[in-house]
Amino acid sequence: MGDKISINIPIETEKLVPDHSPLNILLEDPEFVVVNKPSGIIMHPGAGSSYGTLAHRLVAMFPETHLVGHPKRPGIVHRLDKETSGVTVVARTSEMYLHLTRAFADREIQKRYLLIVKGAPRQERGIVEAPIGRHPSRRTHMAVTSNGRPAKTCYKVLDQSGSQALLEVQPITGRTHQIRVHMAAIGHPIVGDSTYGQKNPDADRTLLHAWTLDFKDRTGRTWLGACSPPDDFKRTAESLNLALPMTPDSTLKTRPQ
């Protein structure tokens, strides 16, 4: 009588099955990695996608990310849509995960995108400031709504030809589908975006590319991740006589003072 029995039940941590498909590494540091996500790949497992995501590739090359953040979203601190290509930063340590998560929430990370749109805005530079929320009837879509969350997007026309234009866009906020919704709202949907525009014979996907990403690490160093658009984007731009800008190198930009 009076004996105490202790039972240690191990807690199983759900792990993703590594996918050894290649990853295009732009920058690598002990605390983070910057990769070029191909179009057509989902960031992490979700409804209808249990394998073959970017997360599965990450845990194959960087197994330590298994312990960073959510088990199904290891190290992932921001999202790119399935059809969107380009730069994304991933944390390799829990400390960097918290640092980057706060930096995104505080809008300290600058992102620039390249996109081809239908028509051309009248002004060479402009700001779209309109709240975004769930579409009232199509629940998988987003829309500009009076009760949505504040959203702000800055754009610059880089080139135009005929009925299309090449834009550089900087989202100030980070709402779901923000760039796609805002471009459609001003009458210039992204070419190939059948959700917020219409199907286009010039593109098999939404021509949206995450071009550059500026961020600071935990020591105060500033990094630039950058990658040129993929071949399908380049082919479409060339066929439309749109000149793409030169892409800078991914690099350490500044050290702490």
Give one DSSP letter per residue of 197-257, joined into a string: S--BTTBSS--EEEEEEEEE-TTS-EEEEE----HHHHHHHHHTT-PPPPPPPPEEEE---
Q: Which residue out of 81, 106, 231, 232 is catalytically annotated? A: 81
List phi, psi (to 5°) of 170: -125, 110
**Cβ proximity of 78 and 104 under 8 Å:** yes
231 catalytic residue (yes or no): no
- The amino acid occupying position 51 is Y
Each residue of 127-153: b (16+ CB within 10 Å) or e?
Answer: ebebbbbeeeeeeeebbbeeebeebbb
Active site members: 81
